Each structure stands twice: as C-alpha cells, then as structure tokens.
Amino acid sequence: MLEIDRLHTHYGPSHIVQGLDLVAAHGEVIGIFGRNGVGKTTLLKTIAGWIKPSAGEIRFAGRRIDGLSADQISRAGVGFVPEDRRIFPSLTVEENLTVAARPGRWELSSVYDLFPRLKERKGNFGNQLSGGEQQMLAVARALMTNPMLLLLDEPLEGLAPIIVEELAAALKNLSGIATILIEQHTGVALALTQDAVVIERGTIAHRAKSAEFARDAETLERYVGLKVS
C-alpha cells in the first residue's frame, strides 16, 4: 500500500527526515514513536504532500506520489488528520463532513454510527464543539474521503480521559484502512497498532511488533522517554 524509500525532508537548512524507509501493507496499523522533534510529524506531512521531500521516493498503491500536490495525494486515497485538526469553524458538523466527501463505505450514516456525539451535534457549527468533539469531527471528515491510507497526528492529545477512551474505541474499529498513527499516549497507541516504529534523528532506530514493544520497558524508556500508560 505504502512504500517509502530513502526519504529525506528539510525545513530550510534543517535536515529533519534523514534517509527513512517504511512499508505499510493494506489494512496494517503502524504506530510511530519517538521523542519530540525527531521528525514524526514531518514524516506524515511529507507523505500527505504538505511538505516536499528533498530526496527519496514515496509510492502509494503502486504509484509515485512524492511529486504530487496535497490535494492530488488526498484524491489518490490518503487521508490526513493533522494535530491542529483544521475543521471549518463556520460550517456545521454535517457541512464539515460533506464538504470533501467521496463515495465509498464511509458516509454520513456510518460516521454517525462511529461517533454518535457528532450525530447529536450535526447542526452545530465547528466552533461550538468541545475539543474532543472537534477531534472526532476531524477524524470523521477524513473518513468521509474514503481513504485507503489514514495518517493520524496525535489525535488524543489534550483530551479528557473519557474522550480518549471513546475516540480510541472508534479508532479500533477502522478495519481495512492502512493507518499510520503518531500518539503520545504510548499505552493506548500500542494497543491500537500492530507494529511499532521508533524514529530518532530523522530515521528509524527500532522496529517491533507493538505487543512486544509494550513489554520492553527498557527500550520504551530509552527511545520514547515515557513509561507505558
């Protein structure tokens, strides 16, 4: 589904992603871990076309996408939920969901089943929602594009524990979509993913099955700097 080969990305003179290789199969859920500033978000933005790579290749569904614009990559089947959500505050929940919708499994009825809170608030404007509801809306809006690959940048950050549980339960039901997840709630992220990849200094320093990584307290502490919680 996704093949990244020797990817390099710069922010001005700063070399952020440094020769990274990554493969994601159809339906596979990969967790990206690492300390702040190691290139996790830059990687997702590069895949999504928000940042142009300096070198290397990104192939999606057999097609090179590293030279495409963000809208072309989205239309090709890559959904991206950035950390700042970027919902439209002056549109209703339903308008946010339908503005970029494409035909497929995910439509209004299915995202409302996944997020009942959004159905209850479908007439509310984006700026009338709580932070947790805005995050649900951002994920649901990405699903409405019916992606084959979903990129999630810290979807649980700053949310109340009950909302974290609710959103994590919803994410666990996204079968059939290849997903790359960045998340600081380490324990939750390891439970949601099949494979764990640790980034350090812009490249992959460690790979393991998520269940194995969760049991490896020493490696978690060394690379992530956080105990599982």
Q: For the segment 115-131, what is each residue's pLDDT rounded down to a tens digit?
A: 999 999 999 999 999 99
Domain membership of residue 183 (yes or no) is yes
Question: 25 or 219: which carries more pLDDT confidence?
Answer: 25
Q: What is the model's pLDDT at position 226?
A: 56
Q: What is the model's pLDDT at position 229?
A: 46
Could you give the angle at which helices 161-171 and 131-143 cross, rounded to 10 degrees? 10
Domain membership of residue 50 (yes or no) is yes
In tens, the pLDDT along 6-64 reads 999 998 889 999 999 999 999 899 999 998 889 999 999 999 999 999 999 999 999 99
CA distance 118 to 133: 7
The number of domains in the chain is: 1
**pTM, rounded to two decimals:** 0.91
Domain that holds residue 48: 2-223
CATH number at residue 138: 3.40.50.300
Domain membership of residue 189 (yes or no) is yes
Domain membership of residue 157 (yes or no) is yes
